[in-house]
Chain A
């Protein structure tokens, strides 16, 4: 067990873990959700079968759509697969490409992905896809300040805006975990994640009613492998956001501290376990609340904004 893995391989493993693990996490959430509703639910591996099926299908594009319509899913998935290079997925020590971008860099990549998907949806001329992208952009504009304030909190806590630095700060002592600023920022981030992954109370994840759709509606016109890429992309985004929440904010433990193969293997298991735990919480929330009316989403975001701003206040003005 003392075989040391080369650093580039670990870096690659970070991306592979997220890429391969993401559908499984989605599968587990769907299963837990079904169980909570008293249904048997789909197999945990169902998302993999769905993706495999879609990848074998024929792809069609609406008449008049340009090359961008087909390029968008590829760009989005490429952006999602770049983010795991920047955040602590498997190791507690920064990997060489880890300083390529900070939290804002990761945020830019995630918004780039959502921007290209929205633009591709606009290309289609389908009213529902356009409605979805318009809504998605409107609501992501109002969640942006929340994310910014969370980043400010991280900056005030660590003096940097590197995800690795915050994880190290949280690990350093118990006082850092129980600080109100840290807890408030984590809670605000969790609310943003509920919003970004299209979960109740913002959006029904598995519905067919177009009127309440935000993110889901954008992929309506894509088909075949491109649709598979979009689905896979939203699963990747979900796992990335869960990883940021658990490995940077809430529980940065279980990461590999060395290059030994055993430690890295353990870290992969720990990551998936933590993401599944977050997913179970999300599933419980999904089953305990009703979907908010569209115009009530501002209240939800105002709540998240309140948490993030109070986090900054307690640090910057309150000294705690």
Chain B
């Protein structure tokens, strides 16, 4: 894209607001990437989930899609309240002291380096999806590019951390990114399908809960560093 074509008129208040919400979600994803404690990561996840509900309400109000109000409510109940609660109980039950359990200090790179690596991942996401220029019926193309960047950063979070809790949170926030992309390209999707996707998340929570518990009962730690050695 040349400089001249990038200088364009502002996309309007509604698009701007949707884009800003998406951009803040991406920033929260970066926050999870650099946050050392699982408790803070869960908080950031809850904030991110709250924002996607807000975005759904904004889209519903502007594009007159009443289904989305129901979706926003359901998603808020599940992801802002439900999942963080379950995660906190899981972590609290599994370990009294997070420090001892290998969550803090599970970074494989320093926070600044992790953020820079995340920027590279985000650039790839932006580049791939921004170039497509997909304009959904509800939200602007920039939000889709941001969603793609968020997915890659969530993958990055799962890669650079060596503890099960961060990896689970990375996976859940990956679901947030996919929800964002879904809102952008297919906001008019029937409610039943959207809800089905939401309940997929519940399955993931159960599976991850079992993995966290299982791993902790066997290794007495949440760190995945113990899994590198083969056992006969």
Contacts and interface: CB of A to CB of B under 8 A. Distances in A.
Interface of A: 155-159, 172-180, 183-184, 298-299, 301-303, 305-307, 309-310, 313-320
Given A156-B6, A180-B20, A320 B15 contact: yes
B90 interface: no
Interface string B67-106: 0000000000000000000000000000000000000000
B140 interface: yes
Interface of B: 1, 3-4, 6-13, 15-17, 19-20, 22-23, 26-27, 30, 34, 110-112, 115-116, 118-119, 122-123, 126-127, 130-131, 133, 140-143, 145-146, 149
Contacts of B145: 313-314, 317-320
6 contacts: A157-B7, A183-B23, A184-B23, A306-B115, A314-B142, A314-B145
A184 B119 CA distance: 14
B16 A178 contact: yes
A180 B140 CA distance: 12
Contact of A156 (B3, B16, B112, B131): B3
Contacts of B141: 318-320
Contacts of B143: 320
A314 B23 contact: yes
A174 B142 contact: no
Nearest to A316: B6
Contacts of B19: 179-180, 314, 320
Contacts of A313: 122-123, 126, 130, 145, 149
Given A157-B7, A158-B7, A305 B142 contact: no
A156 B119 CA distance: 19
A310 B23 contact: yes
Nearest to B111: A299
Contacts of A305: 115-116, 119
Contact of A318 (B7, B9, B27, B142): B142
Nearest to B113: A302
A317 B3 contact: no
A316 B142 CA distance: 10
Contacts of B12: 175
B112 A298 contact: yes
Contacts of B16: 175, 177-180, 320
B86 to A, nearest CB: 30
A294 to B, nearest CB: 13
